Structures are given as C-alpha cells and as structure tokens.
Chains A and B, each alone.
Chain A
Amino acid sequence: GAGVSQSPSNKVTEKGKDVELRCDPISGHTALYWYRQSLGQGLEFLIYFQGNSAPDKSGLPSDRFSAERTGGSVSTLTIQRTQQEDSAVYLCASSLTSGGGATDTQYFGPGTRLTVL
C-alpha cells in the first residue's frame, strides 16, 4: 500500500500570501499529525487529529495557522498571510489506532518545503 503522501513537495510564495498544504494519510489510519521542521530545530508539533476532530491544537504557532481534516482522511494545513519565519519543511504523519502519540508508530510523509520570500 501507499505511504503518506504530501503535496506540493515544494512551495515558494511571497510574504503575505496564503498557502495550503495537503496530506493524504495511509488508508485506515485514524490519527494524523502535522509537524514543522526548521533547520536545527527538530520536529515541532503543530496539531493532531483523531478522525475529523482535533483534540490537540496546542502547537499551532499563531492564529494564521489552521488545519482541517475531512472524511477522516485528507488533511489541509493552511497558513494565512505567510511570513518569512514560516519557511520550513512541513511534515505530516499518520498512525493506525485511536490513541494519542503513545505506542502507535507514526508514518511520515516526505514533507512540503515551504519558502516564503
């Protein structure tokens, strides 16, 4: 079966523009995570979905960031009025069971590299 896919793989945008990043999780995986990876900063947790609901939005850095998940599958991360500090690789991961991050292996997509000029 296919792994987690993300699109686009690269996105270059101008400061102030809105961007949408898409994640297609592994079929049947109920949990979905978004992370941001900046150089030397590791994996910064952004948001976690269980089905279509987001019990943990604590990592979203500002109200310019939002995410949704429809049909318990595809998720979209939207960044409004992008800033240069938003430049990073945005990673999506999915896991099989209904629990939190605990014992469920997370399967990561290849990421979307966002560059804000």
Chain B
Amino acid sequence: QQQVKQSPQSLIVQKGGISIINCAYENTAFDYFPWYQQFPGKGPALLIAIRPDVSEKKEGRFTISFNKSAKQFSLHIMDSQPGDSATYFCAASDDDKIIFGKGTRLHILP
C-alpha cells in the first residue's frame, strides 16, 4: 500500500532523445506527486510536481504524465542533454507521509 515502484533502474539516452521514467503507486490517498533530481554529491532537489486533478504538467523540457485510473505517472525529458545526467526520484505523498521511489540513474550520451 505504501510502495512507489520506479522503473527503469538505469537509463541511457542519446543527446536530443526523449528520456522516460515511470512510477506506479498503490495508495489512492496520495494526492501529490513530485519528481526530484539529484546530482552526484548533492541532495535531491524538486524538479516538477503534479496533482491528480490534471493529467499532464509541462515545465520547459520536462513533462509529467499522470494516469489516475492506472495509478501511474511518468517523467518525460524532451531533447535530453548531457547536463540532465542525474538520478531521478519520483514520490507520492498525502498529508501524513511521502514515499520515494528507488530512483533512476539517467545518463545522456553526448
């Protein structure tokens, strides 16, 4: 009930390509779904977030797609750049708790 399953564990994408990371949750009480980006040696930082009242949110090259009925959401990075190489964590939260996925290590080939 409390798990957030994230895939893939690692991802290699060519520069200019689309990077896609998927997450699934179980608890229907979750109502906030952020994505965090972490560079080596740094703490995670909020990248983009969505609430379940919308199916998509876009900020620059980053888009979250949300499927409430399937309890799935995904991060799309368009025109991926080497500077996007990082570890990405999805999360799901309600008023009481936030649960993070295990992370996806993304590497963009120059």
Q: Do A and B bind each other?
A: yes
Which residues of chain A have a CB within 8 Å of any CB of chain B? 4, 35, 40-43, 45, 56, 91, 93, 99-103, 105-111
Q: Would you call A101 and B46 a contact (CB within 8 A)?
A: no
Task: Decide if B95 is an interface residue (CB 8 Å cutoff).
Answer: yes
| Chain B interface, number of residues (Cβ within 8 angstroms) | 25
Instruction: Evaluate contact between A102 and B32: CB separation under 8 angstroms.
Output: yes
Which residue of the partner chain, among A41, A43, A102, contacts B95 with CB atoms under 8 Å?
A: A102
What are the residues of chain B within 8 A of A106 when measuring CB–CB? 46, 98
Question: Which one of B32, B42, B97 lies within 8 Å of A103 (CB-CB)?
Answer: B32
Contact yes or no, B43 A42, CB < 8 A? no
Which of B56-64, B66-74, B78-86, B100-108 is found at the contact surface with chain A?
A: B100-108
28 A-B pairs with CB atoms under 8 Å apart are A40-B102, A42-B89, A42-B101, A42-B102, A43-B44, A43-B89, A45-B100, A56-B96, A56-B97, A91-B43, A91-B44, A99-B95, A100-B93, A100-B96, A101-B93, A101-B94, A101-B96, A102-B31, A102-B94, A102-B96, A102-B98, A105-B34, A106-B98, A107-B45, A108-B43, A108-B45, A109-B43, A110-B42
